[in-house]
Amino acid sequence: MTTSATHRTIAALWRIESPRLIAGLARIVRDVGRAEELAQDALVAALELWPQSGIPERPGAWLMTAAKYRAIDSLRRSKLALRKHEELGLEIDPPDVQAELEAALDDEVGDDLLRLVFTACHPLLSPEARVALTLRLLGGLTTPEIARAFLVPESTVAQRIVRAKRTLAEAGVGFEVPRGPELAARLNSVLEVLYLIFNEGYAATSGDDWMRPALCEDALRLGRIVAELVPHEPEVHGLVALMEIQASRTGARVGPRGQPILLLEQNRGRWDRVLIGRGLAALARAEALGGALGPYALQAAIAACHARALTPGATDWPRIAALYKTLAELAPSPVVELNRAVAVAMALGPAAGLELVDALTTEPALQHYHLLFAVRGDLLTKLGRLDEARAALEHAASLTRNARERELLRARAAACAAAHE
């Protein structure tokens, strides 16, 4: 294997192994930043040695061992550890330190990963910082990869990560899974981060690409991990179900030239039936846990309506409208109301939908939301009010920061203009 091929393999292995590695180390050194540094040291050692010696039979164990001995050295050099032992009148026994570390790292990895998830997604951090830290520690992404994914400067991402780790350290945030009422609040933060990551991949807010599938894959992989770590939380399964079903459409959402293909125009034969099956199973797990469905599970139920329809005409729009009504009652939002308006338009006709959309035009939160005007333009087109439709679509195009979406909206506006002549 060539050096470059070995480096690519190491990068792929790192993406898989780094969360477990950092999680195990963080529990020992009680500092996420320091744990990441130790793990990175092990990665550097692998990059130096493996091109010559070959990739070990158990690369994860090799990395863990390398990181473990660096952690031992770190503990031995720690002035704080020395001072504490001296205050207790104890002598440092290196073998005991090593044995303690080895025992800790050999514990069930699930607990450590769960602690790392809750630490990286701590509500003390801004949403942007939580996303960056989660992708770095749990997704195994590099700073340049995160910067490219969200179209922000590398320096911005680096600062977010550094500040996040510093904030956690200065606040003395424990490397632990919260209990009691705090668990629900912290779990909501975890799910919010995964949802943000997935949505940015599914419909990029800016840039030249309609989708960034790698972000969807990272969010989905992390969501599956969390679902196995907290199997009795319905909303975790609800979010996983939503992401699985939405991700099933990836191959049908983009045309050969990168142009967006909207839901009703997609070739449903290109939808991934395996992902749909996984999503429906996850939704069933959420429903089986009992109680009213939460926001993520409700959105998954809506996505399931589309997934079960083999053709657009077979879609159960009345049920989708009802589900959006329930979602709006549970988690009120102008965006949810806009989505409900679309479902109502499909179920009862464009005039009924337009009435709901027009009521939203005064919502302050939607004044610069391009999809409000895109939906309005679509409904006006169906009603034959082409001049108004063109104006709405052109306004929508002026608001979006995504180049592919802008092209689509301008093309639809031009079609309205041509049809009106």
- In whole angstroms, give the CA distance from residue 213 to residue 347: 31
Residues 6+ apart with CB under 8 A from 379: 345, 350, 353, 354, 357
pLDDT at 101 over 80: no
The pLDDT assigned to 79 comes to 55
Q: How far is CA 327 from the centre of its chain?
A: 21
- In whole angstroms, give the CA distance from residue 134 to residue 128: 10
CB distance 2 to 48 below 8 Å: no
Mean pLDDT of 138-142: 82
Q: Which tokens in the block code for residue 316?
A: 């159960």
Q: Which tokens in the block code for residue 145?
A: 């990869």
Which residue, among 352, 345, 349, 421, has the nearest Cα to 386 in the 3D structure?
A: 421
Predicted confidence band at 95 (pLDDT cuts at 50, 70, 90)?
A: very low
The pLDDT assigned to 303 comes to 98
The pLDDT assigned to 93 comes to 45
The pLDDT assigned to 108 comes to 47
pLDDT at 252 over 80: yes
pLDDT at 91 over 50: no
CA distances from 255 to 258, 261, 263, 266 (A): 5, 6, 12, 9
pLDDT at 100 over 60: no
Phi, psi of 206, rounded to the nearest 5 degrees: -155, 175
Mean pLDDT of 124-132: 92
User: Which one is predicted more confidently, 110 or 385?
Assistant: 385
Record the pTM: 0.80
CB distance 344 to 375 below 8 Å: no
The pLDDT assigned to 92 comes to 42
In tens, the pLDDT along 314-358 reads 999 999 999 999 999 999 999 999 999 999 999 999 999 999 999
CB distance 222 to 198 below 8 Å: no
The pLDDT assigned to 8 comes to 85
pLDDT at 121 over 70: yes
In tens, the pLDDT along 297-318 reads 999 999 999 999 999 999 999 9
Pick from 55-59, 185-189, 404-408 the range whose average pLDDT is largest. Answer: 404-408
The pLDDT assigned to 68 comes to 82
Residues 6+ apart with CB under 8 A from 408: 259, 260
Predicted confidence band at 69 (pLDDT cuts at 50, 70, 90)?
A: confident
